[in-house]
Structures are given as C-alpha cells and as structure tokens.
Amino acid sequence: MSTEQYTLTMSREFDAPREKVFEAWMEPDKLTRWFGPAEVDAPREQIIVEPRVGGIWQVVMVWSDENGEQSAPIEATISELNSPALLVAQAKAAPDADHEYEEMHLEFEDLNGRTRMNLKQGPFASEEWVEMTRDGWGTSFDKLDALLAG
C-alpha cells in the first residue's frame, strides 16, 4: 500500500447564522434530515451525539442498490468542541484504509448572519476517495441548505 495520504478541503456558505449550522451537526433530530449524499438516509434511531470532548458522534448512512439495503457507519469521537465555531472528530477509517483514523475538522465562520463552513477531512488513501467524499458532502450540504431554509 502507498504511504501517500490525501486530504479533502472544501468550504460552503449557508444563508443561516452559524449557531443554526453548528446545531444541525450536533442535534440528532436535525442530522437525520440532511446527513448523507443524495439517495442516502441517516435513520434517527442510529444517530448518537454526545456534545462534549470525548463524546460519541455516530451516524449510520443507509441506502438501497442492486444488492439490497447497504449501510455505512461513521463512528467518531469528538476531540475538540467550541460551539458554535469548531467541531473536530476522529472517525474510524474504512476497513481497507492503510490508517486507523480520519479527522473531520469543521470551522464555522460568522458572516454577519450567514455562515462559511470550512471542512478539512483525511487522511484518505487515494485521490479517488477524496473526490468521492467531496461529491457526497456536496449533495449532503444541498440537503443541509434546504433544512436551514425551511
């Protein structure tokens, strides 16, 4: 396996105060409504969020394809938390990755009633994983946009 590692970096602006955007990451009733790419669900009963350093941040994504129902758990531990400005979590990496954990680093920047969310995530084993993750976040954030507008 390659020892080279890849990192995803992306930003997204939301037409909502950063407190609301941050809350959407920390409240299971909100996470269930937007988390996961298009055509993917995050069942409420499979979400656990303990909003504290050392707390669990867990979401299970569920979808159907030609092989039936599929699922992908995201099991993370919050390593830094500064509401509503910062959320950092260490998530277990995919089983075929050459590393044990991936870090998800989120900064929420106040833009006078709007929010710029900066995401840095990795390491990933390949550029392909980075682009697949970027695409997934893109459609997830579209769903988050709709939730915040509602």
Identify the helix (H) or strand (E) that includes residue 62. Answer: strand 56-65
101 confidence band (pLDDT: 50, 70, 90): confident
Residue 82 lies in a domain: yes
Residue 94 lies in a domain: yes
Domain that holds residue 112: 6-149
Our count of domains for the chain comes to 1
Residue 136 lies in a domain: yes
d(CA 77, CA 71): 20
Residues 6+ apart with CB under 8 A from 131: none
- pTM over 0.85, yes/no: yes
Burial class (CB in 10 A: 0-12, 13-18, 19+), 51: middle
pLDDT in tens, 24-67: 999 999 999 999 999 999 999 999 999 999 999 999 999 999 98
Q: Is the pLDDT of residue 93 over 80?
A: no
Residues 6+ apart with CB under 8 A from 119: 8, 9, 10, 11, 12, 104, 105, 106, 137
Residue 52 lies in a domain: yes
Six-digit token string for 27: 């409240």
1 confidence band (pLDDT: 50, 70, 90): very low
Residues 6+ apart with CB under 8 A from 112: none
Residue 63 lies in a domain: yes
CATH of the domain at 37: 3.30.530.20
Residue 1 lies in a domain: no
Q: Stretch 110-119: mean pLDDT, rounded? A: 97
Positive or negative, the CA dihedral 142, 53, 81, 101 is negative
Residue 30 lies in a domain: yes
Nearest partner of 60 among 39, 78, 30, 36, judged by Cα:
36
Q: Is the pLDDT of residue 125 over 90?
A: no
